[in-house]
Structure formats: C-alpha cells, structure tokens
Structure 1
Amino acid sequence: DGRTSRCVKLSVSDWKCLLPHVKAPRKAGSCAISRLSAGDPLGYLLLASPSPDAYRASMDTLFTEYLGDIVARLLVRLGDHG
C-alpha cells in the first residue's frame, strides 16, 4: 500500500527479538515501525511502548513517516562523512 510506517501490537517474543536490551513487558506491547530508506534500504526505526494501546493500527502514521525520513537522511549524511 506504499506506507513506510505502521502501528502494531508487539508480542513479548517479538519485543525480546527486536529490543533485547530493554526489559520486555509481561504482556504484549505496541510499536510504531518505520522503514528507513534513501534509495537503498537502511534499516528500521522502532518506537515501542509496554502499553498495548500506545500505538494502534488505527493511528495516523504521518509523523512517524516524517521522523523516519529525517533519520534516513541523517544516516546517509553520517555515512558520507565516515
């Protein structure tokens, strides 16, 4: 559908896989995930919450898409200097 950002529930096992350095909640959490790309794929930006209702599929993702675009551009700039 062309979107680069989504809000989803995050199971405990997915939390542990994606965020191993952060203690997982007892129950499912939620996250906003944005694909980072500037021509080539660069990775993902993940904003997570232990609350299952903090990020819902019905939420608008315009801000997280914008944030992902900024982070991707900064990563490209850093790559050009290092």
Structure 2
Amino acid sequence: MRCGSGPAQLLRRVEAGETIEITDRGRPVALLSPLPQGGPYEQLLASGEIERATLDVVDLPEPLDLDAGVELPSVTLARLREHER
C-alpha cells in the first residue's frame, strides 16, 4: 500500500495493532507500529530484559552483622554522593 494513497487507513491499521514496513523504492526504511503498552517496567518484562522476582522480600535472609566500626553501606553511599547535590 502506498502511504500517500491512504495515511488515515494506515493509521487505523496501526491502531488495530499492526506493524507496517515503510519502503522507499522497495527498500525498507522505517516501521510504523503501535506505541508500547504499559510503563517502563512492563516494557522491560515484555522484551525479556528482566524477569519477575520469584521470591518475596519476606523470604530474604536476615542482614549480616557488621564488625564494630564498619560503616553501613547506606552511610557510605550518602557520604560519597554528598558532592553531587
């Protein structure tokens, strides 16, 4: 289908979920596709870049005891990031 002959029809097809390849003299140059659904988290799940957690936070082990005088990691991060603010 020629884009110039019916852009509204192309948009209706895309709204229905279809992805359309746009060509220039037979050479693919672009894809016209629906916008991704959901937020960034859902998009990462759909792409397979991340997976849902299989455990609940209550299943995590107790925090390790730190030796006396050892700085908590959260305190270290806060100290290192002080200059960023």
TM-score range, shorter chain: under 0.3
Which protein has the larger Cα radius of gyration, Structure 1 or Structure 2?
A: 2
Q: Which has the higher helix share?
A: 2
Scaled by the length of structure 1, the TM-score of the pair is 0.24
Q: Which has the higher strand share?
A: 1
Scaled by the length of structure 2, the TM-score of the pair is 0.23
